Amino acid sequence: MARFGGPFSFRAAVCTPAPDAPIDQMSQQSVAEFFARQGVALEILETSEPTPTVASAAAVHGVEPGRIAKTLAFRLKDGAVVLLVARGDARIDNRKFKDAFGKGRMLPPEEVAAVTGHPVGGVCPFGLAQPLAVYADVRLQDFDTVLPAAGSTHNAVRVTPQQLVALTQARWVDVCEGP
């Protein structure tokens, strides 16, 4: 069962945020509903401190930065938007990225929120506002579990890299430099 902070605590399938709820609440709700539809019982880990960066998320969750699975959004030359989930301490290797996807650029923050339905700092590959191709860098497999955000700057979910890929129908790619 997913647990939510803020003004309420409930099962995702039972309660819906108010229409004027902040984007974090609506985004977190979409993630919980995604997990419910997938039939998985992943606990959404709430934090009292915001975790909008890899460094802050690693500190709050007590893990090394590599275990934070950051989700980056790119617009490719053909106009398609793709999500890349990478370990927190990895950097994009421009040559590998171009070989895998062609030319692309990171989306600006306002476009990220509009396309994914998640606020910057809470972007994840779960509960997206629209279907998007998801890719996972192979370096995530260095860990038994990773912590992507769960739709808010105050939460995360602990998941195996293989489970993340299976849930999101992601494809493995090698587009990052090693840490």
128 and 116 Cβ atoms separated by less than 8 Å: yes
Cα-Cα-Cα-Cα torsion 71, 38, 151, 96, nearest 10 degrees, comes to 0
pLDDT per residue as tens digits for the range 9-37: 222 322 333 334 355 567 889 999 999 99
24 and 122 Cβ atoms separated by less than 8 Å: yes
Backbone phi and psi for residue 149, each to the nearest 5 degrees, phi listed first: -60, 165
Q: Taking the domains of the chain in order of start, what are their residue ranges?
A: 23-177
Rounded to whole angstroms, the Cα distance separating 160 from 2 reads: 17
pLDDT per residue as tens digits for the range 90-143: 999 999 999 999 999 999 998 999 999 999 999 999 999 999 999 999 999 999
Calculate ∠ Cα 168-58-85, nearest 5°.
25
CATH number at 23-177: 3.90.960.10
